[in-house]
Chain A
Amino acid sequence: GESVGLHLPTLSVQEGDNSIINCAYSNSASDYFIWYKQESGKGPQFIIDIRSNMDKRQGQRVTVLLNKTVKHLSLQIAATQPGDSAVYFCAENPIDDKIIFGKGTRLHILP
């Protein structure tokens, strides 16, 4: 469904460790999913996407996993760096060209 007005959960990760950010989506008809990164004061930026006919896709240092059975997405960031500090949003494409965003998770990197 729509992104609801709740404060963002925070994930704190040691620099160099792997980060896993989770997202539950709402519409079983969604066939396309995207992860966005939003740094402070900026607009969201595309990171990686995945279609519903796949369960895993890898990019540079990032991997997206899709579990359609439980309507769950995850974003894995390898060897987390200070520049990865941001809010991460998953988004789904339930119909036509409409894109709905999840609640978001703030990733905080510990030195």
Chain B
Amino acid sequence: NAGVMQNPRHLVRRRGQEARLRCSPMKGHSHVYWYRQLPEEGLKFMVYLQKENIIDESGMPKERFSAEFPKEGPSILRIQQVVRGDSAAYFCASSPGKEVSGANVLTFGAGSRLTVL
């Protein structure tokens, strides 16, 4: 079991370009979470998804940001027309969900660090 895999680990984009961050959850996990972290700050919840469904996107900016978790393949966090303020570490986590495990313990990936020039 390879754990939660995120790629790319580091991504550099110029202002106005698009950034796509990918996350493959642990085997058997149907819930995916995305968090954003600025240097020396905490983890800010963005969105959580189950297969093909967005369950809670209350932490996602209204514009330019979107997330998906298709039936096949990894979850994608997409940031369109990036600005310097989007520079951050983006962490993905997965879990089997409370209904399966009784407690919602998240397993995190190593993160994707986005730098916008």
Contact = CB atoms under 8 A, between A and B. Distances in A.
Answer yes or no: do A and B interact. Answer: yes
Interface of A: 2-8, 32, 34, 36, 42-46, 49, 51, 89, 91, 93, 96-104
Contacts, number: 80
Given A43-B110, A45-B108, A101-B42, A2 B59 contact: yes
Contacts of A49: 103, 105
Contacts of B38: 5
Contacts of B40: 7-8
Nearest to B59: A2
B41 A8 contact: yes
Interface residues of B, number: 29
B24 interface: no
A4 B42 contact: yes
Given A93-B104, A97-B55, A42 B110 contact: yes
A25 B41 CA distance: 17
Between A32, A42, A96, the greatest number of chain B beta carbons within 10 A of the residue's beta carbon is seen for A96
B110 A103 contact: no
A3 to B, nearest CB: 3
21 contacts: A2-B44, A2-B45, A3-B42, A3-B44, A6-B41, A34-B106, A43-B91, A43-B108, A45-B108, A46-B106, A49-B103, A96-B56, A96-B98, A97-B31, A97-B48, A98-B45, A98-B48, A99-B93, A99-B106, A101-B44, A104-B41
A104 B108 contact: no
Given A2-B45, A7-B41, 15 more contacts: A3-B45, A5-B41, A5-B42, A7-B40, A32-B104, A42-B110, A42-B111, A43-B108, A46-B107, A96-B98, A97-B48, A98-B48, A99-B45, A101-B43, A102-B42
